[in-house]
């Protein structure tokens, strides 16, 4: 007769909609199939992009860039490496400098584009070597040899940082698995932080859904304004949350929550996440971040924030660290 661990027995008896997969360690599955797998994929996608810079097809270049940004979105949605490696705290800013600083990056890159200094020297700032800068260089104007030269430098930097993320996760797997309480807290807070940033930075501020911009969409301020890859990035954030939270994706965070008797809080989170996903998929193809078109997704993400704060975290012994994201 098979012997069960205490955790697996609790999962089998107490959690809804579980299969035999629940007997696997959910922490190991999360790390290997979400955190590490998404980091591995991002490195692959970055290599793919570098390969197509010589391709004369603008469509091929666009597809490669969109794939890379979506891959980065999946990594960022559950980014916890900074808790195990202090240097890794800054890696996200070195990959994508979105919503940071006051410099007009487009204007600065335009000056560099018109100059004759080698791109490897001209692109001296970190903010000039990120995905946002790559979006500008690749898609804000006609493809030229100068743009290609700059894109090669920028993509090499992005690939370097993504490789550091991948390798860092490989190095710290044991640390994650050695402290389950810390691991769960990091995962939940990473989800909360990125749901908040998606609702506020990527939806509300772009769609005229803040007090300062009410009814005045500013699509030019979206994360990747020239390629229009921003929408796919938002979808990647939501898809990663589905990986971590949906019953049909177990074993995952839901599996752990059920073992802690947090069914009610998880149900509220899942309901709001489903509503957000339905709103995302239901947005008109040519929405261009129009205020009315974005309200259902904005509301779904707001409800998701509230469900995390008000119904889930307290029931499973996790302290939410991003207080501004409580939905109030």
Q: What is the pLDDT of residues 288-303, one digit of tens each?
A: 999 999 999 999 999 9
Span 9-18, pLDDT tens digits: 344 334 444 4
Going by the DSSP 8-state scheme, the letter that residue 309 receives in this structure is: I
Above 80 in pLDDT, residue 3? no
Of 1.20.1420.20, 2.60.40.10, 3.40.50.620, 3.60.20.10, the CATH number of 6-325 is 1.20.1420.20
Please state the pTM of the whole predicted model: 0.91
What tokens were used for 44?
A: 């692959």
Above 70 in pLDDT, residue 31? yes
Span 303-313, pLDDT tens digits: 999 999 999 99
Q: Name every residue whose Cβ is closer than 8 Å to that of residue 111 and which is 6 or more positions away in sequence.
A: none
Distances (CA, A) of 239 to 11, 70, 158, 236: 24, 10, 23, 5
Sort residue 267 into left (φ over 0), alpha (ψ -120 to 50) or beta: alpha
The confidence score (pLDDT) of residue 267 equals 98
C-alpha to C-alpha distance for 233 and 320, rounded to whole angstroms:
24
Q: Rg of the chain's alpha carbons, rounded to an integer?
A: 21
Average pLDDT, the chain: 92
Sign of CA pseudo-dihedral 157, 195, 225, 221: negative
C-alpha to C-alpha distance for 77 and 236, rounded to whole angstroms:
8
The confidence score (pLDDT) of residue 102 equals 85
C-alpha to C-alpha distance for 199 and 97, rounded to whole angstroms:
18
Tokens 């990473």 sit at which residue? 190
CA angle centred on 42, ends 37 and 46, rounded to 5°: 150
Domain parsing of the chain, residue ranges: 6-325
Picking from 284, 322, 295, the residue whose alpha carbon sits closest to that of residue 197 is 322
- Alpha carbons within 13 angstroms on the beta-carbon side of residue 211 total 0
Span 36-58, pLDDT tens digits: 999 999 999 999 999 999 999 99
Picking from 296, 294, 305, the residue whose alpha carbon sits closest to that of residue 276 is 296
Picking from 143, 142, 141, 111, the residue whose alpha carbon sits closest to that of residue 128 is 111
Question: What mean pLDDT do residues 220-234 have?
Answer: 97
Confidence of residue 101 (pLDDT cuts 50, 70, 90): confident
C-alpha to C-alpha distance for 129 and 119, rounded to whole angstroms:
10
Q: Is 63 helix (H, G, I), strand (E, B) or coil?
A: helix
Element (H, E) at 128: none
Tokens 């995905």 sit at which residue? 131
Distances (CA, A) of 105 to 93, 111, 211: 14, 10, 26
Stated length of the chain = 328
Span 70-95, pLDDT tens digits: 999 999 999 999 999 999 999 999 99
C-alpha to C-alpha distance for 263 and 21, rounded to whole angstroms:
19
What tokens were used for 225?
A: 């304004």
C-alpha to C-alpha distance for 106 and 145, rounded to whole angstroms:
18
C-alpha to C-alpha distance for 259 and 261, rounded to whole angstroms:
5
């Amino acid at each position: 007769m098979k012997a069960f661990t205490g955790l697996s027995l609790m999962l089998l008896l107490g959690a809804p909609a579980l299969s035999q997969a629940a007997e696997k360690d959910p922490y190991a599955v999360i790390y290997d199939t979400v955190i590490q797998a998404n980091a591995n994929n991002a490195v692959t996608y970055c290599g793919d992009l570098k390969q197509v810079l010589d391709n004369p097809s603008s469509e091929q270049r666009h597809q490669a860039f969109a794939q890379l940004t979506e891959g980065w979105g999946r990594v960022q949605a559950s980014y916890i490496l900074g808790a195990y490696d202090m240097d890794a705290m800054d890696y996200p800013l070195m990959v994508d400098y979105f919503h940071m600083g006051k410099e007009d990056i487009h204007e600065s890159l335009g000056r560099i584009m018109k100059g004759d200094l080698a791109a490897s020297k001209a692109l001296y700032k970190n903010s000039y070597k990120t995905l946002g800068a790559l979006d500008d260089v690749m898609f804000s104007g006609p493809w030229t040899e100068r743009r290609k030269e700059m894109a090669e430098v920028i993509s090499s930097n992005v690939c370097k940082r993504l490789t550091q993320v991948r390798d860092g996760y490989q190095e710290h797997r044991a640390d994650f698995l050695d402290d389950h309480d810390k691991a769960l807290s990091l995962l939940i807070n990473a989800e909360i932080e990125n749901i908040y940033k998606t609702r506020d930075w990527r939806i509300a501020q772009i769609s005229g859904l803040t007090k300062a911009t009410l009814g005045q969409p500013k699509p030019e301020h979206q994360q990747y304004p020239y390629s229009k890859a921003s929408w796919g990035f938002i979808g990647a954030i939501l898809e990663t949350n589905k990986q971590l939270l949906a019953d049909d994706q177990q074993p995952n965070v839901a599996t752990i929550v059920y073992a802690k008797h947090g069914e009610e809080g998880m149900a509220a989170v899942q309901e709001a996440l489903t509503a957000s996903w339905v709103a995302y998929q239901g947005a008109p193809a040519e929405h261009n971040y129009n205020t009315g078109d974005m309200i259902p997704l904005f509301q779904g993400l707001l409800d998701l924030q509230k469900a995390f704060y008000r119904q889930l975290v307290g029931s499973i012994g996790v302290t939410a660290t991003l207080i501004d994201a409580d939905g109030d």
